Amino acid sequence: MRIHEARDGGVLTLTLDYPERRNALALGLREQLHDILDAASGDEAVRAIVLTGAGGTFCSGGDISGMNVTELEAGLERMRRTHRIIRLMVAGRLPIVAAVEGWCVGAGLSLACACDTIVAAEDARFMAGFGKVGLMADLGLPFTLPARVGVGRARQILLYGTQINARHAEEMGLVDRVVPKGSALEVAAEMGRFLAAQASLPIALTKRILAEGLERALEDERQFQAACFVSTDHTEGKAAFLAKREPQFGQR
């Protein structure tokens, strides 16, 4: 698993590449993404970022096989480290454009919504799906999703975990632009070049204003998700996912 970096002038393109898990956001990828974003934020030559996934999939979610949290403190630490990424994306100085092809699920949806613009191919599919493994939405999604689609629609997306196609996502404001299959990265790169040519300080300050309330949301999320990690529901949800069966929640 790795993240590929490519520079085109002031635009840095990052490509998630974990083919065995359809670019699931495993801990290794999370650490790489944080380190790259952190370095980019201090590099004045980088003025915009494009985020995409390899192999026709944006991101299939978290890596369930790597979720081995058994103690509350470990869950809190896991969330603390993950939230460093979201702070850099949502409240950092660099504008970020997501180029989404194929599936954008769970943590993948969170990553996309942490970007400033989402360009989706017409075959893209979006879904929350956290509840199926006994978890709540994380990586800032309870903050970023309502900001995009409103509280009412966000509630339906998060509670029901239904699949949303690209056109419907555009209609509700989840996606900013729908493009032909295979062209999301090209269009996102074009938008990245536009952003890179703009004055950087106003962009940074605009992002900072729009991120007001993020810290409180992340702290609540950190506490709540850590509790979910050590719950019997997550134990059952994870077991069901790995066994490819429907979970049986509430069974004692």
Q: Residue 82 — φ and ψ, nearest 5°? A: -65, -40
Does a structural domain hold residue 69?
Answer: yes
Burial class of residue 244 (count of CB atoms within 10 Å of its CB; 0-12, 13-18, 19+): exposed
3-class secondary-structure state, position 88: helix
pLDDT of 46 > 80? The answer is yes
Our count of domains for the chain comes to: 1
What tens digit of pLDDT does each residue of 146-175 get? 999 999 999 999 999 999 999 999 999 999
What tens digit of pLDDT does each residue of 129-151 get? 899 999 999 999 999 999 999 99
Does a structural domain hold residue 225?
Answer: no
Average per-residue pLDDT for the chain: 96
What tens digit of pLDDT does each residue of 199-246 get? 999 999 999 999 999 999 999 999 999 999 999 999 999 999 989 999
Please give the C-alpha separations between residue 190 and each of 42, 67, 97, 221, in angstroms, as whole numbers.
Answer: 23, 37, 10, 34
Does a structural domain hold residue 189?
Answer: no
Does a structural domain hold residue 226?
Answer: no
- Give the whole-angstrom CA distance, residue 149 versus residue 142: 11
CATH of the domain at 125: 3.90.226.10
What tens digit of pLDDT does each residue of 59-101 get? 999 888 778 888 999 999 999 999 999 999 999 999 999 999 9
E-strand ranges in 9-54 read 11-17, 48-53
Q: What is the pLDDT of residue 251?
A: 63
Is this model's pTM higher than 0.85 or not? yes
Please give the single-letter amino acid code of residue 122: E
CB 149 within 8 A of CB 164: no
Does a structural domain hold residue 132?
Answer: yes
Looking at residue 41, the DSSP 8-state letter turns out to be H
The distance from CA 131 to its chain's CA centroid, rounded to whole angstroms, is: 16
Q: What is the pLDDT of residue 63?
A: 84
Does a structural domain hold residue 191?
Answer: no
In terms of residue numbers, what domain contains 149? Answer: 2-183
E-strand ranges in 65-220 read 96-100, 103-105, 117-121, 125-127, 164-165, 177-179
Does a structural domain hold residue 115?
Answer: yes
Q: Which of 60, 9, 4, 75 is nearest to 33 (CA)?
A: 4
Does a structural domain hold residue 190?
Answer: no
